[in-house]
Amino acid sequence: MVWLPLICFGQRNKDNWNNAYPELCRDAGLALIEDAYISSIARRQVFIK
């Protein structure tokens, strides 16, 4: 029951669900320098200009 809202939320935000941020940021002139999972759910992606 707890995961259902999280799964539904992720499906509505396809950019996050499909990990499209690196491509979106690359198109904006940013470079991915770090991509790691902080926990089993939280992911950190660091970009620089």
At residue 20, the pLDDT reads 84
Across 31-46, average pLDDT: 89
Across 3-9, average pLDDT: 54
pTM of the model: 0.58
Pick from 43, 15, 35, 40: nearest CA to 27: 15
Asked if pLDDT for residue 9 goes beyond 70, the answer is: no
Residue 43, classed as helix, strand or coil, is strand
pLDDT tens-digit profile of 10-28?
Answer: 555 555 667 888 888 999 9
Burial of 9 (0-12, 13-18, 19+ CB in 10 A): exposed
At residue 7, the pLDDT reads 53
